[in-house]
Amino acid sequence: MIEPLDICVMLGGPSGERKVSLQSGAAVADALRELGHRVSEIDPVDGEFRLPPNTGVVFLALHGTYGEDGTVQASLDALGVPYTGCSEAVSRLAFDKVAAKRACARDGLATANDCVVDESDAGLPDGLELPLVLKPVYQGSSIGLEFVETAAAWPSSLAKALEGGGPVLVEERIEGREVTVGVVGGQPLPVVEIMPKRGAYDYANKYTAGATEYACPALFDAEATHRIQHAGKRALTAVGGGNCARVDFIVRPDEEPVFLEVNTLPGMTETSLLPKAAAATGTGFAELCQWLVELAVEHPPLAATG
């Protein structure tokens, strides 16, 4: 247990996930205060910030662009202040859905067939079978997510996916069970299965309380559970490693986990999955926050990745 620290919680920010980030940050700040830390909060809504004097560590509760793409991490590295999560380089790579997927594929993880599209008038991709999933390459995990069931739906879905700017990753949709694995301090947490009551696990179902059911630990046998957890550790290692991340997969009927993406700043709201997984091990929300702070202090992300 480390002594009480001066901790700055960074929350909000300029991304499309600002609202959720504010909720995450408020929950974290309350928990850290209950533990006896001296806590300040900064909302870099314009992309600029100045840390309070004597800040010993920054708890990053930012989501999406600016928070997860390495931008704020680079600024904190320049200041020499440790922070939670992953380094600038790892954050930047993991936030790029194509680069992260290619890194994990090189490491031998299963991935869906895909292509990258950046033109609004592009036709339905040759060589890919419907249904398809469209993901903006440089957005948070649920922002701009589109599902294409028929060829007729392709133009409008592509237009919506491109609205946020930048290219779109187009993948064949894998049939199976959607799961996520938290990895904290090199330890995989229990597998969480994600079961939306209606439709897919999009932004609305992700952040609306009661819209999705979860099983934690997920109901897989011991061998499949180990396979999924090991894949989570491998995925984080493939993008460069770090103190904390959450890795998403689709588990096929043959129980092979198919990589979806790495989230280097998992949400910390009441519906967030990292706290659910930690709770399944007996680690409460405040304990999880403390664990992440201790990792940041003892193993600063910049030092951990060189």
- Which top CATH class is 6-89? alpha beta
Asked about 261 being catalytic, the answer comes back as yes
Question: Residues 61-89: what's their mean pLDDT?
Answer: 94
Which of these is catalytic: 15, 21, 87, 141? 141
Which of these is catalytic: 12, 15, 16, 17? 17
- Interatomic CA distance for residues 181 and 245, integer angstroms: 8
Any idea which residue has 């680690």 for tokens?
283
- The 8-class DSSP code of residue 173 comes to P
Asked about 113 being catalytic, the answer comes back as no
pLDDT, one tens digit per residue, over 215-259 is 999 999 999 999 999 999 999 999 999 999 999 999 999 999 999
Any idea which residue has 């948070």 for tokens?
140
Residue 131: what residue type? Answer: P
Structure token pair of residue 304: 């951990």
Is there a common fold for 6-89 and 114-172? no
Identify the pLDDT of residue 306: 38
- Interatomic CA distance for residues 21 and 74, integer angstroms: 19
Asked about 141 being catalytic, the answer comes back as yes
pTM: 0.92
CATH architecture of 114-172: 2-Layer Sandwich (3.30)
Asked about 246 being catalytic, the answer comes back as yes
pLDDT, one tens digit per residue, over 178-222 is 999 999 999 999 999 999 876 665 555 555 567 689 999 999 999
Cβ 192 vs Cβ 180: under 8 Å: yes
Asked about 54 being catalytic, the answer comes back as no
Which of these is catalytic: 87, 91, 267, 272? 267
Q: 303: Cβ–Cβ under 8 A, 6 or more apart, which residues?
A: none
Specify the fold of 93-109+175-283. Answer: D-amino Acid Aminotransferase; Chain A, domain 1 (3.30.470)
Query: Taking Cα atoms as reference points, which of 208, 252, 265, 300 lies closest to residue 112?
Result: 252
Which of these is catalytic: 15, 75, 142, 263? 263
Cβ 210 vs Cβ 151: under 8 Å: no
Asked about 207 being catalytic, the answer comes back as yes
Any idea where the domains of the chain sit in the sequence?
6-89, 93-109+175-283, 114-172
